[in-house]
């Protein structure tokens, strides 16, 4: 769904920096968009607006995706009707947003977002005023040309007109889609300063669409990357999910690294990856992301908690190793590392507690896999986070095989019946291999195991 396009910071748009418009209509027989591929509800909205005498266009990501023969997630409509006029046309319509008024036309679970053409407000009223709780000036409505140039990338500024089924292009977006190129509209630096999240969108959409980022659009990113740290943490969290849980996590991560955004977004992980000379942590991370992509492709569920456990694992390992090097006892060091990494990360990305708590459990459970004591084994198997923690344990094999025996044990433990497991644990205990039967051996094992995990 289209997000209201915010103007951030206090930099007004410099009209000189905007491109010369080259309006163009690509007729129906010269593009691939067919009404068959458009949601029937979106078509209903377009036709109703048109019948009432308004301009009605499909716009943004949906047009871009249809030109690429992808299936759009949502269909956004742009029109010259005001939100009030839209409301009068649809019974199932509600107006949302104060700063940017939008109309939502609701069909069961599908919402068609209808936005009135807007011009970029040039008074610099930005998020700060919104955060201070004051209502910034209302929408500045504009022409379709105004609406096109306030959008971010040329590929996102195409309009499919229901009146003649042509694609309207004011900024060269049609060619850029054919050439699979991300190009910012206007002066890249100015546009990134207005809204630093556009840097992330450049990387995310390039990864999703398999586009390249045109050189002038890419060049300012590493320089301006620190500005991303000032973006709203809740917005960054949403972007992270779109980047990593939508089937293109690996190219997204590589893009963040390549364009120098990782150090702003995940500072502790970036530092840990730099200091991990063997590259083992990075390999594990990429393998985990590849598995996430495979799950998305197979329509299997993916969880933000597991994702963040993975993305922040290098940070956790490094912090834990640092605390232990200062002589802190293992269990206390683990708890402190968990808290420290989480608290530091949420300053940039607002990771909600319902995800950060299970993320922390996944980490803390890792040290419990070395136990073979019957009661503890059964308690861990019944733990609500067991499966995620076990999957994480298996993934850690990519970085280190120090716990290969644990993976083997827990793989079998899950497969065997409770009675069989119980019997084998008792047999092991009787044979003297159980850790509780040999406290000295257990202590030795633990001391070796934990720093090894931390140093992975
Ligand atoms: P996705 O496939 O992830 O939905 P999208 O391009 O549709 O990609 P949305 O966030 O749904 O992304 O935004 C819809 C449209 O709103 C974009 O295509 C673009 O035209 C405009 N837009 C979104 N974010 C911005 C931004 N930060 N600055 C300018 N225009 C934006
Ligand atoms: Mg969209």
Task: Tell whether the model's pLDDT for residue 450 goes beyond 80.
Answer: no
Average pLDDT, the chain: 88
Atom of ligand 1 nearest to the CA of 195: 27
Which residues participate in catalysis according to the annotation? 74, 76, 152
Q: What pLDDT is attached to residue 423?
A: 84
Q: Residue 113: what pLDDT?
A: 97
pTM: 0.86
Is the pLDDT at 456 greater than 70? The verdict is no
Closest residue by Cα to atom 18, ligand 1, is 60
Domain of residue 177 covers: 24-186
**Is 11 a domain residue?**
no
6 has pLDDT over 50: no
CB-facing half-sphere around the CA of 454: CA atoms within 13 A: 21
Q: What is the CATH number of the domain that holds 408?
A: 1.10.3090.10
Confidence of residue 75 (pLDDT cuts 50, 70, 90): very high
Residues 409, 271 within the same domain: yes
Instruction: Kindly state whether residue 166 falls inside one of the protein's structural domains.
Output: yes
Nearest CA to ligand 1 atom 11: 2
**Average of pLDDT values for 7-18?**
46
Domain end among 186, 220, 252: 186
**Residue 157 lies inside a defined structural domain of this protein:** yes
Cα separation, 397 vs 392, whole angstroms: 9
Q: Do residue 312 and residue 415 come from a single domain? A: yes
Domain finish residue from 164, 186, 208:
186
- Listed residues 186, 221, 236: the one ending a domain: 186
Nearest residue CA, atom 16 of ligand 1? 2
Closest approach atom of ligand 1 to CA 191: 28
Give tens-digit pLDDT for 169-186.
Answer: 999 999 999 999 999 999
Kindly state the percentage of the chain with pLDDT values over 70: 86
Nearest-atom number in ligand 1 for the CA of 198 is 27
Read off the pLDDT of residues 79-120 as tens digits, 9 standing for 90 and up: 999 999 999 999 999 999 877 889 999 999 999 999 999 987
What CATH number is attached to the domain comprising 151? 3.30.460.10
Render pLDDT for 299-357 as a digit per residue (tens, 0 to 9): 999 999 999 999 999 999 999 999 999 999 999 999 999 999 999 999 999 999 999 99
Angle at 149 between CA 145 and CA 155, to 5 degrees: 105
CA of 240 to the centre of ligand 2 (A): 15
Query: Using a 6 Å cutoff on CB, does residue 197 contact ligand 1?
Result: yes
What's the pLDDT at 3? 46
pLDDT of residue 98: 78
Q: For residue range 193-219, list pLDDT tens digits in order.
A: 999 999 999 999 999 999 999 999 999
Q: Is residue 243 part of a domain?
A: no
pLDDT score recorded for residue 429: 79
Please tell me the predicted confidence (pLDDT) of residue 120.
78
Residue 104 falls inside a structural domain = yes
Q: Is residue 89 part of a domain?
A: yes
Q: How confident is the model at residue 139 (pLDDT cuts 50, 70, 90)?
A: low
Assess whether 142 and 270 both reside in one domain. Answer: no
- Quote the number of domains for the chain: 2
Q: Are residues 288 and 384 in the same domain?
A: yes
| Domain annotation covers residue 391 | yes
pLDDT band at 448 (very low <50, low <70, confident <90, very high): very low
Whether residue 167 lies inside any domain: the answer is: yes
Shared domain for 293 and 432, answered yes or no, is yes
Based on the fold, state whether residues 43 and 160 are members of the same structural domain. Answer: yes
């Amino acid at each position: 769904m289209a997000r209201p396009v915010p103007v951030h910071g206090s930099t007004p748009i410099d009209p000189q920096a905007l491109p010369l418009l080259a309006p163009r209509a690509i007729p129906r027989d010269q593009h691939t968009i067919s009404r068959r591929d458009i949601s029937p509800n979106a078509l209903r909205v377009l036709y109703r607006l048109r019948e009432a005498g308004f301009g009605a266009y499909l716009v943004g990501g949906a047009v871009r995706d249809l030109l690429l023969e992808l299936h759009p997630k949502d269909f956004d409509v742009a029109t010259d009707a005001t939100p009030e006029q839209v409301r009068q046309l649809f019974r199932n319509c509600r107006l949302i947003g104060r700063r940017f008024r939008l109309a939502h036309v609701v069909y069961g679970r599908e919402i068609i977002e209808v936005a009135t053409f807007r011009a970029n407000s040039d008074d610099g009223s930005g998020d700060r005023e919104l955060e201070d709780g004051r209502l910034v000036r209302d929408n500045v409505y504009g022409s379709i040309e105004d609406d096109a140039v306030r959008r971010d990338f040329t590929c996102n500024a195409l309009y499919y007109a229901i009146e003649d089924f042509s694609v309207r292009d004011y900024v060269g977006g049609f060619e850029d889609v054919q050439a699979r190129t991300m190009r910012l509209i206007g002066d890249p630096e100015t546009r990134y300063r207005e809204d630093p999240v556009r840097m992330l969108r450049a990387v995310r959409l390039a990864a999703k669409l398999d586009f390249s980022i045109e050189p002038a659009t890419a060049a300012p990113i590493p320089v301006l990357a620190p500005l991303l740290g000032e973006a709203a943490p809740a917005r960054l969290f949403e972007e992270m999910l779109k980047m990593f849980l939508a089937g293109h996590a690996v190219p997204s991560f590589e893009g963040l690294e390549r364009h120098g955004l990782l150090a702003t977004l995940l500072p502790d992980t970036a530092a840990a990856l730099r200091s991990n000379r063997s590259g083992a942590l990075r390999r594990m991370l990429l393998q985990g992301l590849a598995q996430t992509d495979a799950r998305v492709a197979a329509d299997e569920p993916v969880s933000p908690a597991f994702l963040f456990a993975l993305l922040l694992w290098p940070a956790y390992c490094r912090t834990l190793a640092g605390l232990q090097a200062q002589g802190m006892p293992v269990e206390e060091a683990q708890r402190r590392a968990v808290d420290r990494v989480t608290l530091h990360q949420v300053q940039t990305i607002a990771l909600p507690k319902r995800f950060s708590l299970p993320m922390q459990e996944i980490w803390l459970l890792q040290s419990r896999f070395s136990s073979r004591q019957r009661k503890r084994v059964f308690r861990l198997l019944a733990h609500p986070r067991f499966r995620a923690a076990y999957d994480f344990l298996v993934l850690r094999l990519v970085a280190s095989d120090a716990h290969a025996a644990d993976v083997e044990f827990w793989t079998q433990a899950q497969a065997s019946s409770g009675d069989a497991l119980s019997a084998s644990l008792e047999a092991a205990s009787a044979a003297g291999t159980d850790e509780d039967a040999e406290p000295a051996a257990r202590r030795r094992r633990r001391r070796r195991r934990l720093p090894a995990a931390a140093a992975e």
